[in-house]
């Protein structure tokens, strides 16, 4: 696939005629949740069937929505008090136009791959903009929209709200959602602080030359890793849930069941022989319902659950064992846990002890652990730029063995796509395991 870049420019916020201009010197410091998360550019690629909207319509909508979601038009900067944050200077979002002299169906990757990186702006180097958009038009008139944003500014929930609002702005209809609500005043520590849970070794760790929570793997590299797409139909998921939940008063959720199934399938495919070895999954937990965040909260509000069990139990026990471990770990990250984290992060212990965040991607190989990201509740299918929802939604290329994404299928039939990073020599085994009955 040869992608030809034709232009690149900044799109600045467009305010309604007669509306007062906002203060472009305002600096919004990062919240405790912004500071604890991954400080990386994240990407997602959407594709739309022809006839697609014009670039002018998309640009007009982007300018309008940036006037509402101003952090996405700002720049990540240090504030006057030395705190990191976003300067609301209306710098703008970068818009790149590109073209491909081929039909989308013939060349677009079916799963994340190095080639797919040509369909979104680059993620590395010094990036001045919080948001970048690449519009790639194909010979069949299909349109790929590659969107990237700085994760330190907004999490997936907030970003998906922005994308839906952008689509409404392109269509010339009111954004409809509650206006963005930022963190100021929301995450106050208790007086006196009450740190009821352990946060060292969970969200934070102490960096030492001899010990790190991210040991390097040896002997294999990202060049040996491929991204596999597993398509789980609605019927298959229903059968898994029924089997895992048999005899349980309340069935496991779709999320708990699929994650448990992938956890077990990966453990089997990896061929792990030490049955006493522990295996852990890092799972993002949305704090909005747990922290009673106001509608429209825009920023990061995520901590992590770490369900843990042994390789032997994953191999020998039924699916319900893994699903219960996931359920219990997520349940423990409740409102009290979120408040305890706020109290700890605001106590000064992080600075005094030189603690570092554990939310960094420094390993190519996670075995025997996993790291997953669920997009099952994000309304990406509601991103309508005037011709209906996307026909194709793809997470970024992420060659980290053991990382996987769950994405609702664009078929709209309740099926789910799991994009799983595996070693090439484990792929055949994983393909055999992915549809195995849970009790086998």
Are 247 and 117 in the same domain?
no
- Domain limit, last residue, from 102, 136, 170: 170
Element (H, E) at 11: strand 3-11
Are 278 and 412 in the same domain?
yes
Query: Which residue among 27, 151, 157, 327 is the active-site one?
Result: 151
Residues in the chain: 440
Residue 188 lies in a domain: no
Are 149 and 35 in the same domain?
yes
Active site residue 199: no
Are 352 and 231 in the same domain?
yes
Do the bridges between strand 278-286 and strand 302-305 make them parallel or antiparallel, or are there none, so unpaired? antiparallel
- Domain limit, last residue, from 135, 170, 205: 170
Query: Which residue among 343, 364, 384, 417 is the active-site one?
Result: 384
What per-residue confidence (pLDDT) applies to 217? 46
Are 149 and 236 in the same domain?
no
Are 230 and 327 in the same domain?
yes
Our count of domains for the chain comes to 2
CATH number for position 380: 3.30.559.10
What per-residue confidence (pLDDT) applies to 220? 57
Are 140 and 230 in the same domain?
no
Q: What is the mean pLDDT of each run of 10 residues along the chain (440 residues)?
A: 94 92 93 94 93 90 96 94 91 97 89 92 92 96 95 95 95 84 88 93 82 48 85 96 92 97 97 96 95 90 97 96 98 97 94 93 90 93 90 92 94 93 95 68
The DSSP secondary structure of 144-188, one letter per residue, reads: EEEEEEETTT--HHHHHHHHHHHHHHHTTS---SPPPB--TTTSP
Residue 219 lies in a domain: no
Active site residue 151: yes
Are 258 and 151 in the same domain?
no
Sequence-distant (6+) residues with CB within 8 A of 223 are none
The C-alpha atoms of residue 272 and residue 265 are separated, in whole angstroms, by: 12
Cα dihedral across residues 245, 326, 34, 404: positive or negative: negative
- Helices 156-170 and 55-66, interaxial angle, to 10°? 130
Residue 187 lies in a domain: no
Residue 199 lies in a domain: no
Q: Per residue in 124-177, pLDDT tens?
A: 888 999 999 999 999 999 999 999 999 999 999 999 999 999 999 999 999 877
Are 253 and 142 in the same domain?
no
Nearest to 94 by CA among 124, 69, 63, 65: 63
Are 114 and 252 in the same domain?
no
Question: Are 8 and 94 spatial neighbours (Cβ–Cβ below 8 Å)?
Answer: yes
- Domain limit, last residue, from 145, 170, 195: 170
**E strand spans, 202-350:** 204-206, 225-232, 278-286, 302-305, 308-310
Residue 197 lies in a domain: no
Are 309 and 160 in the same domain?
no
The domain in which residue 85 lies consists of 3-170
What per-residue confidence (pLDDT) applies to 225? 94
Residue 215 lies in a domain: no
Residue 79 lies in a domain: yes
Are 250 and 373 in the same domain?
yes
Nearest to 403 by CA among 421, 376, 416: 421
Residue 381 lies in a domain: yes
């Amino acid at each position: 696939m040869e992608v030809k870049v034709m232009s690149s420019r900044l799109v600045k916020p467009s305010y309604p005629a007669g509306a007062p201009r906002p203060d472009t010197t305002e600096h919004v410091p990062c919240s405790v949740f912004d500071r604890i998360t991954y400080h990386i550019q994240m990407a997602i690629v959407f594709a739309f069937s022809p006839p697609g909207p014009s670039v002018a319509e998309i640009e007009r909508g982007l300018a309008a929505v940036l006037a509402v979601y101003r952090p996405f038009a700002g720049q990540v900067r240090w504030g006057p008090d030395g705190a990191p944050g976003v300067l609301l200077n209306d710098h703008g979002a970068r818009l790149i136009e590109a073209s491909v002299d081929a039909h989308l169906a013939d060349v677009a990757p079916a799963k994340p791959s190095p080639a797919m990186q040509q369909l979104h702006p680059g993620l590395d180097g010094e990036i001045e903009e919080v948001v970048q958009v690449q519009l790639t038009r194909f010979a069949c008139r299909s349109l790929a929209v590659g969107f990237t944003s700085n994760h330190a500014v907004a999490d997936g929930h907030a970003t998906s709200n922005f994308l839906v609002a952008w689509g409404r702005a392109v269509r010339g209809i009111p954004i409809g959602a509650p206006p963005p609500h930022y963190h100021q005043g929301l995450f106050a520590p208790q007086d006196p602080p009450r740190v009821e849970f352990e946060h060292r070794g969970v969200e934070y760790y102490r960096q030492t030359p001899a010990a790190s929570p991210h040991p390097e793997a040896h002997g294999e590299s990202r060049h040996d890793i491929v991204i596999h797409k597993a398509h789980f139909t609605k019927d298959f998921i229903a059968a898994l849930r029924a089997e895992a939940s048999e005899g349980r008063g309340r069935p496991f959720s779709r999320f708990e069941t699929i994650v448990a199934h992938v956890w077990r399938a990966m453990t089997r495919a990896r061929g792990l022989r030490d049955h006493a070895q522990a295996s852990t999954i890092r799972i993002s937990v949305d704090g909005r319902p747990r922290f009673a965040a106001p509608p429209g909260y825009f920023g990061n509000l995520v901590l992590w659950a770490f369900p843990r069990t042994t390789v032997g139990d994953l191999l020998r026990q039924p699916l319900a064992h893994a699903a219960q471990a996931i359920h219990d770990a997520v349940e423990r990250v409740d409102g009290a846990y979120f408040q305890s984290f706020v109290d700890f992060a605001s106590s000064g212990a992080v600075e005094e002890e030189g603690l570092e965040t554990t939310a960094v991607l420094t390993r190519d190989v996670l075995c025997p652990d996993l790291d997953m990201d669920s997009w099952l509740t994000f309304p990406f299918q509601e991103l309508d730029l005037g011709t209906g929802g996307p026909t194709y939604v793809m997470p970024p290329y992420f060659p980290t063995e053991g990382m996987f994404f769950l994405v609702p299928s664009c078929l709209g039939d309740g099926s789910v796509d799991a994009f799983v990073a595996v070693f090439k020599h484990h792929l055949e085994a994983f393909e055999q395991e992915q549809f195995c009955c849970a009790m086998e």
